[in-house]
Structure 1
């Protein structure tokens, strides 16, 4: 059984009246179906406005779809009872793009990471502190960092704290919504390496939402590409994405730059700098 099943999901934002006219309903998602197995990462690619983040919100239970079903561990997300929903909240975590707006600036790293543990576990203060220290070490930071505030960390360090918070409850799956797009290339590489290591160590499943095919390829097992609210390409072997004939996919593939500037060329043969 797949961990996550999205079946025929359509999401439409309702019509409304503006000055002297009625605006038509806007369809954000149209008949989306996909699945994620245990220990698998599905990379969800697409340009801005393709519907990736809207689908992420539907999967997280933030926006109920107009049509279709979202099953998590075999249970319908939008009809499950309170007890099942509590388990769902524990087993499905999220890491957002903006590491700074994802945390309370008045909280220390210790408080940020311990928040989900306090909500779900009955731990003594010393046990809580020990758990936070271990989580900081797991994501490549130090136990001494727990007393620092968000403004004392770089963007990459703060994203590690967000990841530590996300794995604190040992979830089944994490939705990663553009988790590295606001970071520099070196920091991106470090965070992507960390995500791969955590996936292997904890058996995590990921939905990795991004516009960056290079980032998606580095952590994903399978890839799905969205355009205008639809999935236009789905490959179970990520290498197959490079032979796709879909125009949107070809555009994403062509956006990958060679690592050395001398090998970067435009379509007319000029050097890209």
Structure 2
């Protein structure tokens, strides 16, 4: 049984004029099906407007699709009872693109990370603080950062706090919705290395939603390509993606500028397609 199974999901948003809703709607996801296994990362690629973020919301239970099913650990997330939904919320976490809007600016790093622990764990004050310090150290920060507020961190540091919060309950799957897109290239590399390390150490699975092929290539085991709400290709290996003759994929590959030696093999292959 797959950790996550998405079956024939279709979702639409109603179109609207200045005065009222129109009768027709815009389909943003059309007949989407894929699965994610434990301990693996699926990189979901697509340009702006492809439906990537909507897909993430549907899987998180924030947008119920018109058609299709989402199974997480064997449970239909939209038909599960209250107790099961509570368990799903623990095992399914998310890190969004904007690290600053993802946190309460009036809360310290300690309180931000403590939120899920208070909701799901029964820890003493001492145990909770020790756990939070361990989480901060795990993501490359330290005890001295406990009492800092969001504005006192860089974007990359704050994203590390969001990641610490996401892993605090040892979830099975984390949805990373453009989680490194707003960061500079050096910070991106550091965060991606951190995510890869956490994946290996904790057996995490990721749905890595991004428009950045290099970022997806760095962390993903398999790759999917969304285009205008449709999953046009799903690749079991990164090599399949690099050699695909699909015109959309070829265009995506053609946009890669191999400015770093690590990715020049990608650029070389692109030039021959």
TM over 0.5: yes
Name the structure 1 match of 2:243.
243
User: Contact 1:17/1:23 (CA < 8 Å) preserved in 2?
Assistant: no
Q: SS where residue 147 of structure 1 aligns? A: coil
Aligned pairs (5 A) from 1:32-51: 32-51=32-51
Moved over 4 A (4+): 15-21
Corresponding residue for 1:229? Answer: 229
Counterparts of 1:197-236 in structure 2, within 5 Å, are: 197-236=197-236
1:14-53 equivalence runs, <5 A: 14=14, 22=22, 24-53=24-53
Task: Output aligned runs, 1:22-101, within 5 Å.
Answer: 22=22, 24-101=24-101
8 A Cα contact 2:176 2:207, kept in partner: yes
Q: Is 1:8 the counterpart of 2:8 in the alignment?
A: yes
1:235 positional shift:
0.3
Q: Secondary structure at the match of 2:146?
A: helix
Q: TM-score, normalised by structure 1?
A: 0.93
**Cross-structure match for 2:188:** 188
For 1:20 and 1:45, locate their aligned partners in 2 and report how far apart those are by CA, in whole Å. Answer: 34
The alignment yields a C-alpha RMSD, in angstroms, of 1.8
Secondary structure at the aligned position of 1:24 is classed as strand
State the alpha-carbon separation in 1 of the partners of residues 45 and 183 from structure 2: 18
1:148 is matched with: 148
The aligned length equals 264
Question: How far did 1:238 drift?
Answer: 1.4
| CA contact 1:39–1:203 (8 Å) conserved in 2 | yes
Question: Could you report, residue by residue, the CA deviation over 1:208-262 in whole angstroms, capped at 9, with x for unpaired residues?
Answer: 000000000100000000000000110011121011122221121112112269x
Q: Distance in 1 between matches of 2:33 and 2:146?
A: 41
Residues 1:120 and 2:124 aligned together = no
Question: Quick one: distance in 2 between partners of 1:21 and 1:164?
Answer: 41
Preserved CA contact (<8 Å) 2:113 2:168: yes
Q: Is 160-169 or 245-254 further displaced after alignment?
A: 245-254
Q: Give the SS at the match of 2:42.
A: strand
Runs of 5+ unmatched residues, structure 2? none
- Structure 1 residue ranges without an equivalent (≥5): none
For 1:19 and 1:108, the matched residues in 2 are separated by: 43
SS of residue matched to 1:186: helix
